[in-house]
């Protein structure tokens, strides 16, 4: 939501509270403690006294915002600014946008990332069809080739593999001439030294990405089994050795990126473009991301990518998450 629309829709704290109440309770406001609809009038502090249990109730009680001292309006603006920032933003930029202290902006952003991470769980067993899988290394220098972990592959082998899978009805290059053209590799590479992140994207669909301690077949296999819904799917990867036994669990085609990026529609362009967003975002915006926090940053980009077609959904979805009821005592 742009800022003008946002300030028209939510001009006051009360307008935000009423919207939040609709999200949490539906048409009629209820007591957060006993669920009674028998409430007194709204007090000057915007809370209600419950006429059934006698407690003072508000929409944030027992939610993720239970302990917040920040106004709902500030939360609404933070959610809007963050979901609109296509390349991500730093806590410093958020601080400037919503006029809070740096530590407050930092912890708000952190909370929202956790909620995005939680939301990403719906991608489990959700990918199917043609799935590109690839690994990247956050913070690394390009050095992928000459690495003994990658086995060179001949084009004839790849032709045989593509023919075999296409016979099953998969079409790697459905949109004609350019999609199926062969793009040879002139130079390509990616880091090997830093934190490995593995991603899988369904063609024209959603992405998942996880930090992986070591890129072993066992770990890669676990990830495929976690996220792929249909047995009748096909995986495209590069020729990294860890993928060698993938055929045991899923149909699989490898492309040797040392020779070409794309061949008859077999490529990992979708996951590569996701890596490009991650690299620009994480390396550019967040100058120092600790390894412990890296999964949260990755989750933010996954979340944004999977909602790229409709950012309005993100706004409502994150508000809903913020107002999810938790057992807080
Ligand atoms: Zn009550």
DSSP 229-258: --SS-EEEEESBGGGTTGGGTSEEEEE-TT
CA of 68 to the centre of ligand 1 (A): 21
Max Cα-Cα span within the chain: 78
CB atoms within 10 A of CB 142: 12
CA of 47 to the centre of ligand 1 (A): 12
CA of 164 to the centre of ligand 1 (A): 65
| pLDDT at site 187 | 44
Domain range for 9: 1-63
Q: Is the dihedral of CA 306, 311, 317, 319 positive or negative?
A: positive
Q: Do 252 and 263 reside in the same domain of the chain?
A: yes
CATH number for position 189? 3.30.420
CA of 37 to the centre of ligand 1 (A): 8
* Residue 298 in domain: no
Rounded Cα gap, residues 267 and 182, in angstroms: 9
Structure tokens at 28: 């009629």
Q: Which of 34, 63, 92 is the last residue of a domain?
A: 63
Q: What are phi and psi of 15, to 5 degrees?
A: -65, -35
CA of 40 to the centre of ligand 1 (A): 11
- Number of folded domains in the chain? 3
Q: Do 110 and 177 reside in the same domain of the chain?
A: no
Q: What is the pLDDT along the chain (329 residues), one digit of tens a residue?
A: 888 999 999 999 999 999 999 999 999 999 999 999 999 999 999 999 999 999 999 999 999 999 889 999 999 999 999 998 888 888 999 999 999 999 999 999 999 999 999 999 999 999 999 999 999 988 754 445 556 666 777 788 888 888 889 888 888 887 665 666 777 654 444 433 478 999 999 999 999 999 998 999 999 999 999 999 987 899 999 999 999 999 999 999 999 988 888 999 999 999 999 999 988 888 766 666 777 888 999 999 999 999 988 888 999 999 999 999 986 55
Q: Do 86 and 200 reside in the same domain of the chain?
A: no
Structure tokens at 8: 């028209």
User: If 0-12 CB within 10 Å is exposed, 13-18 middle and 19+ buried, where does residue 8 land?
Assistant: exposed
Rounded Cα gap, residues 123 and 130, in angstroms: 16
Q: Do 169 and 251 reside in the same domain of the chain?
A: yes
C-beta separation of 188 from 258 below 8 A: yes
CA of 24 to the centre of ligand 1 (A): 15
Q: Do 242 and 275 reside in the same domain of the chain?
A: yes
CA of 55 to the centre of ligand 1 (A): 6
Structure tokens at 137: 């290394």
| pLDDT at site 192 | 34
CA of 30 to the centre of ligand 1 (A): 8
For 11, which DSSP code? -
Rounded Cα gap, residues 37 and 22, in angstroms: 13
| pLDDT at site 287 | 60
**SS3 category, 228:** strand
CA of 58 to the centre of ligand 1 (A): 10
């Amino acid at each position: 939501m742009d800022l003008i629309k946002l300030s028209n829709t939510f001009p006051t704290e009360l307008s935000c509270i009423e919207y939040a109440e609709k999200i949490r309770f539906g048409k009629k406001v209820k007591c957060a403690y006993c669920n009674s609809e028998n409430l007194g009038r709204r007090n000057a502090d915007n809370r209600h006294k419950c006429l059934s249990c006698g407690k003072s109730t508000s929409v944030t009680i027992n939610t993720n915002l239970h302990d917040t001292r920040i106004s709902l309006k500030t939360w609404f603006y933070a959610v809007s600014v963050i979901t609109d920032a296509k390349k991500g933003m730093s806590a410093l930029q958020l601080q400037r946008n919503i006029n809070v202290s740096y530590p407050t902006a930092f912890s708000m952003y952190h909370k929202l990332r956790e909620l995005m991470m939680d939301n990403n769980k719906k991608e489990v067993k959700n990918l199917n069809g043609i799935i590109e899988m690839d690994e990247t290394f956050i913070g690394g220098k390009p050095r992928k080739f000459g690495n003994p972990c990658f086995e060179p592959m001949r084009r004839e082998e790849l032709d045989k593999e593509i023919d075999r899978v296409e016979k099953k009805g998969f079409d790697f290059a459905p949109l004609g001439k350019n999609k199926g053209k062969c793009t040879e590799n002139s130079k390509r590479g990616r880091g090997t030294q830093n934190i490995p992140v593995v991603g899988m994207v369904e063609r024209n669909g959603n992405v998942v990405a996880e930090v992986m301690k070591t890129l072993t077949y066992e770990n890669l296999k676990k990830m495929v089994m976690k996220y792929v819904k249909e047995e009748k799917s096909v995986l495209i990867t590069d020729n990294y050795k860890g993928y060698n036994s993938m055929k045991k669990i899923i149909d699989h085609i490898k492309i040797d990126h040392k020779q070409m990026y794309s061949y008859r529609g077999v490529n990992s362009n979708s996951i590569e473009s996701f890596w490009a967003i991650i690299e620009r975002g994480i390396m550019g915006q967040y100058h120092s991301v600790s390894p412990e926090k890296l999964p949260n940053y990755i989750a933010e980009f996954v979340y944004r990518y999977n909602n790229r077609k409709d950012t309005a959904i993100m706004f409502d979805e994150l508000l809903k998450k913020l107002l999810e009821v938790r057992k807080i005592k």
